[in-house]
A and B are shown apart, each in its own frame.
Chain A
Amino acid sequence: MPFDIYNFTSFTQWIDSSLHNAMSPFWTALTEMVIIGVLVLMFYAVVGLFLVYAERKVCAFMQNRLGPNRVGPFGIFQTIADLVKLLFVELIPIKNADGFLFNLAPFIVIIAGFMAIAAIPFANGLHAIDMNIGVLYVIAVSSMGVIGVLLAGWSSNNKYSLIGAMRSGAQIISYELSVGLALITIVILAGSMQLSVIVEAQRDGWFIFKGHIPAFIAFIIFLISSTAETNRGPFDLAEAESELTAGYHTEYSGIKFAFFFLAEYMNMFIVASIAATIFLGGWMPFHVGPWVGFNHIMDFIPPFVWYIGKTFFVIFLMMWFKWTFPRLRIDQLLTLEWKYLLPINLVNVLIMAFLVLMGWHF
């Protein structure tokens, strides 16, 4: 296969086996953990900073502005400058706050993000773990962030924070269902929960095209509910700037605030990459059935570029939503989930199951 030139499987296996030859299995596992940890950390920081910059530029252009344009050419170093500022900002101790939980909350939020990244295949053979229950793992881990949010709201000893946290709890618990069901629709189609298998199954066509209308509806529902799950506008009720000042992170400052801030963007990146992996073929190039020449050209674009491109397309969609729509109210948010998304989703799963049973998909 032509795109095997970009296959990382042999590369990663070579690292693994050479480490095995040099050390005992325990030390090998430890070394691999450290390598992956450092890599993920760096990736996290770089992507986070870039997304902050991208969001600023995108929203600026949508609002007829230039956005950051002072630090560096086109302001590309603006977020780094902001990060440096945040590192030096005083960490204000909050009176009567529950100190332990207050400090713990940002880490929980960030760790949830780390764990989710581990399962995502960036390219052929380039992922930390390839679990056979990948989809389930991702759903489970990405909803851990809400614990951090709840802890932050509770321990801040601030009424706004508490309202924000409670909203966030209600919101994420409800929208988890839709995210899960939307993914289940594709799992039915793919017949597997393993992310690498799902990607591999999209070799001759992405699931959004393969799965007829049900897959498309699942994609839309996944977009909506994952936007809600990451607490982004128009579902940013947990921080609802004009109602709750900053919601659950009102009392945070300095690097702890930066953690929340970064986690928000990382969560967006994670859900976007899940959407890209499951609906848009992950690192698979764009193929049109019989056009061999066209498919061949597409194969020469590295899979990592495909993956990043699809992810950023989804991220752009989410930014577009955020900067266009007004915010929903908490009861309307829940109405949207329970009265619209969930019933549609259930029907959608049924239709998809029927399609697969009849073999009517491509």
Chain B
Amino acid sequence: MRSIIEYLKEIVFGVWSLMQGMKVTGSYFFRPSTIVTQKYPDNRKELVMYERFKGEVVMPHNEKNEHKCTGCGICELNCPNGTIEIISKTIVTEDGKKKKAIDKHIYRLGMCTFCALCVKTCPSNALAFSQGFEHAVFNRALLIKTLNKPGSQLMKGVE
């Protein structure tokens, strides 16, 4: 007799526990307001990334097309993957001195692991992260980017 009671108890407990689970899923089914899906490409306009989001490395230029990169190569040294390559040139400043300056700051997005060491160690704060995250391109060569804009110059007062 006792075993039959145990048997029935087992069944009742089992069904009850199953109902508990169904309660959870059922309650979500009838509450569509809890849906968390974002319709991504449609909500591009409203989608705001956090300001610290590490999208890709950029070199901010001001309106006079000037940047802060002196071409010291510390970012290149600190990069663990060889993402950054700096090609420098020698220019003659206004007062006639010869000076090393940056020709091309090459950044290979495909190799970057977003460790932020370059941005962190740059002595003149020339690099920053942008919030763009849509990096997909059809040609791998497009992932190799030159960060300084053509014709740009070193900002005044940055050594």
State whether the Cβ of A95 lies closer than 8 Å to any Cβ in chain B: no
CA distance A65 to B22 in the complex (A): 17
Residue among A65, A320, A325 making CB contact with B35, cutoff 8 Å:
A65
Judge whether A104 is part of the interface by a CB distance below 8 angstroms: no
| Interface residue? B157 (CB, 8 A) | no
Cα distance A325–B20 in the bound complex, in angstroms: 11
Contact B37 A58 (CB under 8 A): no
Question: Across the interface, do B21 and A324 meet the contact criterion of CB distance under 8 Å?
Answer: yes
B93 on interface, CB distance cutoff 8 Å:
no
Query: What's the Cα separation between A62 and B23 when bound, in Å?
Result: 11
Please classify the interface of chain A as helix (H, G, I), strand (E, B), loop, or mixed, using the class held by over half of its residues.
loop
Known: A325-B18, A325-B21. A64 touches B36 (CB 8 A): yes
Question: Does B62 make an interface contact (CB < 8 A)?
Answer: no
Q: Chain B contacts of A325 at CB under 8 A?
A: 18, 21
Q: Which residues of B contact A62 (CB under 8 A)?
A: 25-26, 28-29
B residues within 8 A CB of A64? 28, 34-37
Within the complex, the shortest CB–CB distance from B77 to chain A, in Å, comes to 46
* Residues 310-362 (chain A) with a chain B CB within 8 angstroms: 320-321, 323-325, 340
Contact assessment for B32 and A340 in the assembled complex, using a CB-CB cutoff below 8 Å: no
Roughly how many angstroms separate A64 CA and B36 CA in the complex, as a whole number?
6
Contact residues in A for B36 (Cβ distance below 8 Å): 64-65
Question: Cβ of B39 < 8 Å from any Cβ of A?
Answer: yes
Count, chain B residues at interface, CB 8 A: 15
Residues A61 and B22 in contact, CB atoms below 8 Å apart? no
**Cβ contact within 8 Å between A324 and B22:** yes
Asked if residues B28 and A320 are in contact (CB atoms below 8 Å), the reply is no
Within 8 A of A (CB), among B61-97: none
- B49 interfacial contact with A, CB 8 Å: no
A340 touches B28 (CB 8 A): no
B117 at interface, CB cutoff 8 A? no
- Tell me, yes or no, whether A69 is within 8 Å of chain B by CB: yes
How far is B36's CA from A62's CA once the two chains are assembled, in angstroms? 12
Partner of B29, one of A61, A66, A340: A61
* Residue A9 lies at the interface, judged by CB distance under 8 Å to chain B: no
Given known pairs A325-B18, A340-B11, the reply for A66 and B26 (CB within 8 Å) is no
Report A102 CB to chain B, min CB distance, Å: 37
> Which residues from chain A contact B11 at a C-beta distance below 8 Å?
340
Does A63 touch B at the CB level, under 8 Å? Answer: yes
Kindly report which residue of chain B lies nearest to residue A316, judged by CB atoms.
B29
Question: What is the minimal beta-carbon distance from B30 to any residue of chain A, in angstroms?
Answer: 8
Q: Are A69 and B39 in contact (CB under 8 A)?
A: yes
Q: Nearest residue in B to A343 (C-beta to C-beta)?
A: B7
Q: Give every chain B residue within 8 A of A321 (Cβ-Cβ).
A: 22
Closest A residue to B22 by beta carbon equals A324
A25–B101 Cα distance when bound, in Å, is: 99
Chain A residue numbers with a CB within 8 Å of B26 are 62, 320
Q: Which residues of A contact B28 (CB under 8 A)?
A: 61-64
What distance in Å separates the Cβ of A325 from its nearest Cβ neighbour in chain B?
6
Contact (Cβ within 8 A) A323 B25: yes
Task: State A321–B18 Cα separation when bound (angstroms).
Answer: 9
In the bound assembly, the distance between CA atoms of A320 and B25 in angstroms comes to 8
- Which B residue's beta carbon lies closest to that of A336? B14
Residue in B22, B24, B37 whose CB lies within 8 Å of A66? B37
In whole angstroms, what is the CA distance A205 to B158 when docked?
90
How distant is A284 from chain B, measured CB to nearest CB, in Å? 27
A222: shortest Cβ distance to chain B, in Å?
15
Q: Which of B22, B32, B34, B37 interacts with A320 by CB under 8 Å?
A: B22
Distance in angstroms between the alpha carbons of A321 and B22 in the assembled complex: 7
> A282 CA to B25 CA in the complex, in Å?
28
By beta carbon, the residue of chain B nearest A61 is B29
Q: How far is the CB of B27 from chain A (nearest CB, A)?
A: 9
Q: Name 17 A/B residue pairs within 8 A (Cβ), A-sorted.
A: A58-B29, A61-B28, A61-B29, A61-B35, A64-B28, A64-B35, A64-B36, A64-B37, A66-B39, A320-B25, A320-B26, A320-B29, A323-B25, A324-B21, A324-B24, A324-B25, A325-B18
- Contacts A62-B28, A64-B34 known; list 19 others, CB within 8 Å: A61-B29, A61-B32, A61-B35, A62-B26, A63-B28, A64-B36, A64-B37, A65-B36, A65-B37, A66-B35, A66-B37, A66-B39, A69-B39, A320-B25, A320-B29, A324-B18, A324-B21, A324-B24, A340-B11
| Pairs of residues from A and B, 4 with the lowest C-beta to C-beta distance, nearest first | A66-B37, A62-B25, A324-B25, A324-B21
